[in-house]
Amino acid sequence: MSGDGEAGPAVFALVTGGGTGGHVYPALALADELVGRGHPVPTIRFVGARRGLEARVVPEAGFAIDLLPGRGLQRRFTLANLAALWENLQAFVRSRRIVRRARPRVVVGVGGYASLPCLVAARLRRVPAVVHEQNAAPGLANRLAVRMGARAAISLPGTPLRDSILTGNPIRPEIAAVRRAPSTPPLVAVVGGSLGAGRLNEAAIGLYERWRDRDDVAVHHVSGARNYDQCAGALAAVREPGDRLAYELVPYEDHMDGLYARTTLALCRAGAVTVAELAAAGVPSILVPLPGAPGDHQTRNASSMVDAGAAVLLPDDECDGARVEAVASELIADRGRLDAMEKAARTLARPDAAARLADLVEEVAGAR
């Protein structure tokens, strides 16, 4: 991590945005692709939010990052909004300084609170920009950036951004390389994304209560770090001597490639990265879109999988232990349907998404 884009090697791409894995991991996949094309690691720099996942995972991946203040605004007047406005103003000032000092050939926005200040700074300094939209419903930062002249790359057909190019959603190379070998007994993976999902966590504990006597199925439950203690307490409260279910609870999964390889059926939210990874790995799934997501983008993300026959959609208000047990049990018992879902998921995969996005970034930067 460094301060305000301090002097160093000439920067090729300044990648800005983040907050959650849905923004961060496609950005890292793009960065890895650019490095693989001969752009040295120090010439790919990131700008993110202090509170975002990128503050940890980008340095761990070997890239430099500048962290900005800032947070989202609530939809009513609050004192927290006044603090947020001040932090966002500071982020704009710092972003102008970062872009001025880094002098990148291109700025790439991936969405999230930290992306818009740098995209505005790029416009003011006439630096060309690209934005990548992961979801079917574009975020505010990307919509504004396109109006300011940024080129748009989209992950799903029909995403309403002007003159966009369909690239798909870049995924980590290790996910694209997954070779499926589902476990015996069948494994149900419950994964709520990088931040976890309370509704899915509650459903998973409810599933334990219903499957406690079974040894012909297993569960791997990724709760999210902030929810782990609560889930561990709830699980301890329902466990009884003599329970036979193999149930593993973890706060975070560092090796999603291995989990996808051995999973028979996944229970997940329908974030953009999750949907892209499920498709690439060919994992049959039950998708529970997050209610209230901007533009209801998770329902739209899930629809692509459901329409192809790769997933079952379960509304959030129906997602409890009893309903999950009924749907999961029916699917696990139908090997033919699971095989068909796996094949259908793979038809939606775009394993070359990182390469397609890198092509656009190099074109806009004048490097091709």
Q: Name the 3-class secondary structure at 242.
A: coil
Q: How far is CA 360 from the centre of its chain?
A: 21
368 residues of the chain, pLDDT tens digit each: 555 655 567 899 999 998 888 899 999 999 999 999 999 999 999 999 988 889 999 999 999 999 998 655 444 555 555 556 666 778 888 999 999 999 999 999 999 878 999 999 999 999 999 999 998 888 888 999 999 999 999 998 888 999 999 999 999 889 989 999 999 999 999 998 766 689 999 999 999 999 999 999 999 999 998 899 999 999 999 999 999 999 999 998 989 999 999 999 999 999 988 999 999 999 999 999 999 877 788 998 899 899 999 999 999 999 999 999 999 999 999 999 999 999 999 999 998 999 999 999 999 999 65
Do residues 110 and 27 touch, judged by C-beta distance below 8 A?
yes
For domain 175-347, say whether CATH 3.40.50.2000 is its number.
yes
- Give the burial string for 263-281 (b: 16+ CB within 10 Å, else e): bbbbbbbbbbbbbbbbbbb
| Structure confidence at residue 83 (pLDDT) | 58
CA distance 105 to 12: 5
Task: Specify the DSSP element, H or E, that contains 46.
Answer: strand 44-49
With a CB cutoff of 8 Å and minimum separation 6, the contacts of 281 are 175, 178, 180, 257, 260, 261, 345
Across-strand partners of 15?
A: 46, 108
Do residues 101 and 5 touch, judged by C-beta distance below 8 A?
yes
Tracing tokens 């009924």 back to the chain, one arrives at 326
| Structure confidence at residue 79 (pLDDT) | 54
| Structure confidence at residue 8 (pLDDT) | 60
| Structure confidence at residue 73 (pLDDT) | 44
φ, ψ at 84 (rounded to 5°): -65, -40
Within 98-245, strands assigned E span 106-109, 129-133, 151-154, 165-166, 187-191, 218-222
- Inter-axis angle of helices 21-36 and 353-365, nearest 10: 70
Edge-first strand listing for the sheet containing 13-16: 64-68, 44-49, 13-16, 106-109, 129-133, 151-154, 165-166
| Structure confidence at residue 75 (pLDDT) | 46
pTM here is 0.81
| Structure confidence at residue 104 (pLDDT) | 97
Do residues 9 and 40 touch, judged by C-beta distance below 8 A?
yes
Q: Where are the alpha helices (DSSP H) in 125-183?
A: 140-147, 173-176
Cα 178 to Cα 85, 149, 186, 249, 256, distances in angstroms:
43, 37, 18, 23, 10
Return the domain boundaries, the chain. 13-170+352-365, 175-347
Same fold? 13-170+352-365, 175-347:
yes
| Structure confidence at residue 172 (pLDDT) | 85
In this structure, the number of other CB atoms found within 10 A of the CB of residue 336 comes to 7
φ, ψ at 183 (rounded to 5°): -70, 160
Radius of gyration of the chain (CA): 21
| Structure confidence at residue 67 (pLDDT) | 94
Domain spanning 13-170+352-365: which CATH class is it, in words? alpha beta
Peptide bond into 185 cis (omega under 30): yes
